[in-house]
Amino acid sequence: MFIAAMIFMLSNGVAQIHTPVKWTVASKKLSSKEAVVFIKATIEQGWHIYSQHVKDGGPTPTFFSFAQGPKYTLAGKTVEPKPKVKHEEVFKMDVGYFTDEVIFQQKVSLKNGTATVKGTVEWQACDATQCLPPDQYNFSVIIK
């Protein structure tokens, strides 16, 4: 009986981590000297993530950081499509956000035609009743 109770407690005591955002990465070579990295978020219904452009005092924005590489340099900033905008009373401001799916783009200048681009995206996912702690995803994509 004791062993059965312990197994029950252990199996129910393990927290399920909810991950409502899945990330995928791809690249497209535009020329021998230029490429674009596509970073796609697929967001569960009812959830959203925030734009990269959130004012101070607002929710956690989506943020990209890229490792320096010997075969490429970043060309400009990470671009996002136009977000939906809503007023969030808790922050007393309008904030941009994305639902369902969003593709961010980062152009890179290539030094010799091929490169492996590595980076990290940090974001916060929220639904109508809660926000999860900020999370991150490390990615790597080969440009051929």
- Structural domains present in the chain: 19-143 (2.60.40.1250)
Alpha helices in 1-144 (DSSP H): 2-13
* Torsion sign (Cα): 105, 106, 107, 112: negative
* Torsion sign (Cα): 51, 105, 47, 24: negative
The per-residue pLDDT for range 63-90, each reduced to its tens digit, is 999 999 999 999 999 999 999 999 998 8
pLDDT of residue 15: 57
**Torsion region of 46: left, alpha or beta (phi above 0 gives left; psi -120 to 50 gives alpha):** left
The per-residue pLDDT for range 20-52, each reduced to its tens digit, is 999 999 999 999 999 999 999 999 999 999 999
Which tokens is 49 given?
């993530």
Cα(105)–Cα(22) distance, integer angstroms = 16
Cα(140)–Cα(118) distance, integer angstroms = 4
**Global pTM value:** 0.87
